[in-house]
Amino acid sequence: MTAWEKALEAIREAGDVVLFLHRRPDGDSVGSNLAMALALLRMGKAVKIVSQDPVPPYLQGLPGADLIRAPQGEPETFSLALALDCADKERTGMALPWLEGAKRVVNVDHHSSNTLFGHINVVDPAASATGELVYRLLTDLEVPLDGAMAKNLYVAILTDTGSFSFSNTTPWAHRIAAHLLEMGVRPAEVAEEVFGSRSEAGLRLWGRAIGRLQREGEGRLVWSYLSQEDFQELGVDAAEGEGIAQELRRLEGVEGAFFFREEAPGLWRVSLRSRGLLNVAELASLFGGGGHPRAAGLTWQGTLEEGSRKLLAEALRLLAEVKS
């Protein structure tokens, strides 16, 4: 039996299932889990979704979002823990005891860095989003898709592919999206709901990061930062800083973009983005980080001055190697 068949069997057999949003949940995490939860309910199972962090406002309107609970009190025991879009089990945060207490753990994900922490692991890095894997699971489970499930799956794929613009956008992502539109998903409405509105404080936060951008290496590198003070003064949480590195990367003539976000005093989370020439996965690995060639991340402990200086120097060195 393949892992895929074992996963199908484990889902069919379980009477009660616990699902998990990963920390700082994104559209793929929320959409995949809600679609799966609604399908499991349809199959007559008891379902709970636990999440350490709240669902960000732009995803709170998704059908089924009211099923999501904080992992409070004694962890309950479930016959099946189904982890979706979690590269490692620690991504479940404070909900981890709920996963570890389950009789069986099925791990479904598309991150190539997945640690295969489940009893059954279905990891497909070729999938554009975990939502794509959930779509295929529901098809094989013969659960009739309804409009609510379709919308959740669409949001999962839409957000993880950067609105069908990232290099993970495959013919399959489009084929599935086409089917979801046939199920009644209205793309203009979904885009308006998910991307259409943002808080003034969030926009001002972006203004700060963009206002202080700096360029190096004849403009081929760009970087900026937000300190803890910035987030505190504007009263916004870290999620509002998502996407800034990607925005910086759009700047004309830029090969690499780096965005430093201070997570704790002197502890910086750094997002690295490349237009293709600079391998940011390689760059990040020099600092103990990792990721994909065009999108990677690392953690820097120390001053911003030293961190940015070292990162830019290594980036310039890698770029010089590419040229020669």
Contacts with Mn ion, residue ranges (CB under 5 A): 28, 85, 130, 160
Q: Which of 85/240 has CB closer to Mn ion?
A: 85
Q: Which of 28/262 has CB closer to Mn ion?
A: 28
Strand partners, 214: 223
Q: Which of 161/274 has CB closer to Mn ion?
A: 161
CA distances from 288 to 44, 269, 291, 297, 317 (A): 45, 12, 11, 9, 18
- Smallest distance from Mn ion to CB 165, Å: 15
Compute the radius of gyration of the chain from its Cα atoms. 20
The edge-to-edge listing of strands for the beta sheet with 104-109 is 68-69, 46-50, 16-20, 80-84, 104-109, 120-123
Q: In the structure encoding, which two tokens stand for residue 191, read together?
A: 């885009």
Q: Which of 58/231 has CB closer to Mn ion?
A: 58
DSSP 8-state secondary structure symbol assigned to residue 59: G
- Smallest distance from Mn ion to CB 160, Å: 5
- Smallest distance from Mn ion to CB 130, Å: 5
Q: Which of 91/209 has CB closer to Mn ion?
A: 91
Q: In the structure encoding, which two tokens stand for residue 194, read together?
A: 């998910």
Q: Which residue is nearest to Mn ion (CB)?
A: 28
- Smallest distance from Mn ion to CB 317, Å: 31
Q: Which of 149, 119, 147 is nearest to 137 (CA)?
A: 149
- Smallest distance from Mn ion to CB 102, Å: 22
